Structure 1
Amino acid sequence: MTRASLDKQPHEVASMFDGVAEKYDLTNDVLSLGQARLWRKEAAKAVAARPGQKVLDLAAGTATSSLPYAATGAYVVPCDFSLGMLREGKKRNPWLPLTAGDATRLPFKDDVFDTVTISFGLRNVQDTDAALRELYRVTKPGGQVVISEFSQPTWAPFRTVYTEYLMRALPPVARAVSSNPDAYVYLAESIREWPDQPALAELLQKAGWGKVAWRNLSGGIVALHRGVKAQ
């Protein structure tokens, strides 16, 4: 089984996710102690999709995250570069337009989507700046980006406990429920190395996004960042 390294070579990351696709959603629910569902609900509230809108759900995996947007009547495009994830998603939701695509070279025209969103996938992209610029490119003027990603707990004592959980407790739990537990060692390491909330906000601004703000979930374990493309 493939385990990606922190230089995030695209073929390694895609292959790693191919190998965990079947049990990915179940494993996330177990490892997050059920919080993953809450985080998806909060992301859906932030997106606030409406009938007729076009929503790009990047790093959609099996398209679990796309279902709330489709339920509003919006036209949602689940996009991922793991063909294994997309195949699993197509089995479960054959009516969705699942699309293969690289976050740094999206297969869409300029100014297409009302909202672009990515949940727990941005930190797995090799070039974060390029991905944020691509998201900006395919968003309509006045449209928004919503990013849900692991971040840094705001209370220092809890941050220490959380880091210990990631590196010590997560791998044995992953061994019990995942088809590729080594993948979750990489995922834990990638969370620990990821920029904190202000640093990600700065990257968004650098890519051109305005009105950048964030909201912490679960004490900062996850942060929801938002930005708007100028009219």
Structure 2
Amino acid sequence: MNRADLTKRPAQVAAMFDEVAAHYDRTNAVLSMGNATLWRVATTRAVNPKPGERILDIAAGTGTSSAALARTGAHIVAADFSAGMIEVGRTRHADNPNIEFVQADATALPFADGEFDAVTSSFGLRNVVLPQKALAEFYRVTKPGGRIVICEFSTPPVTPVRVGYFAYLNHVMPAVVRLASSNAEAYDYLGESIEAWPVQATLSGWLRDAGYDEVAYRNLTLGIVALHRGIKPTAQLETTEPAATETVS
């Protein structure tokens, strides 16, 4: 069994996801107690895909998030580092002409500057060994005026919720995973990576450092997940407008 650790070596992470690809979506639904669907709906609304737009879905896995985005008629490039995830996704969505699967490294994207109207990633940035480098790449491939939406596990701001959530990660989730996943050890990494991930304000700072304006986040499910967003400035705004102040909504 392959199990990644917090060094997040790319080959190790990819091998782990290759092994869990076949039952990945089912396991996520169980572990999230059904909230995964609600988080996907919120992310899709935040991206606000429009017919004819070209949208990059990073760490798209088997394409579940990409399929939700593609329903509007946008063309979705579903990119993932795991060949196993891509293989399952291509098979599962073979009849959807609006989804294109590409194996890609988030820190060295094989796309042109300003190629996408929007870039989004759901629960993938946390698995990248150099997340700030990945955000710089997301910025590079986004069109001026384009948008970014990041949905990621986060830190509940209320202490009792935070304590209860981390207790779930450390004690309840491992027992559930043994019943739901073909590689229970891989999900030990899930809990570790969530606890080690920075708080919401830190990720907002990374987005601003990458160059995005109008950076804001919204907590979902009491802050277990946070939905981050930003806009890539146009050339005119980059030279004439001050950086936006962070807001939370």
Q: TM-score, normalized by length of structure 1?
A: 0.99
The answer to whether structure 1 residue 171 and structure 2 residue 159 are counterparts is: no
Q: Which stretch has the larger CA shift, 135-144 or 201-210?
A: 201-210
Give the SS at the match of 2:185. Answer: helix
1:197 equivalenced with 2:228 (yes/no): no
Q: Which amino acid aligns with 1:183?
A: A
Task: Find the residue that maps to 2:114 and give its secondary structure.
Answer: coil
> Which residue of the other structure, out of 212, 215, 234, is the alignment partner of 1:212?
215
Shift of 1:17: 0.2
Deviations 1:100-157 (A, max 9, x none): 0000000100001000000000000000110000000000000010000000112111
Alignment of 1:25-174 (within 5 A): 25-94=25-94, 95=96, 96-174=99-177
Give, in whole Å, the separation in 1 of the partners of 2:187 and 2:173.
7
Q: Indicate the SS of the match to 1:84.
A: helix
| Cα separation, 2, equivalents of 1:227 and 1:204 | 7
Unmatched 5+ stretches in structure 2: 235-249
1:17 and 2:17 are equivalent in the alignment: yes
Q: SS of the residue aligned with 1:110? A: coil
Query: CA separation in 2, counterparts of 1:104 and 1:35?
Result: 29
Give the secondary-structure state (helix, strand or coil) at the position aligned to 1:23.
helix
Q: How far off its partner does 1:46 sit?
A: 0.2
> Matched residues in 2 for 1:211 and 1:158: separation?
29
Residue number in structure 2 paired with 1:4: 4
Q: What fraction of aligned residue pairs are identical, expressed as a percent?
A: 54
Distance 1:203 1:195 in 2: 11
What do residues 53-97 of structure 1 show as CA deviations (whole Å, max 9, x unaligned)? 110000000000001111101011000010000001111001431
2:237 maps to none
1:182 aligns with 2:185: yes
Take 1:37 and 1:70, find their aligned partners in 2: how far apart are those partners? 16
My pick for the range that moved more, 93-102 or 76-85, is: 93-102
RMSD: 0.6
Unaligned runs of 5+ in 1: none
Computing the radius of gyration from Cα coordinates, the structure with the larger value is 2
Q: How many residues align?
A: 231
Q: TM-score, normalised by structure 2?
A: 0.92
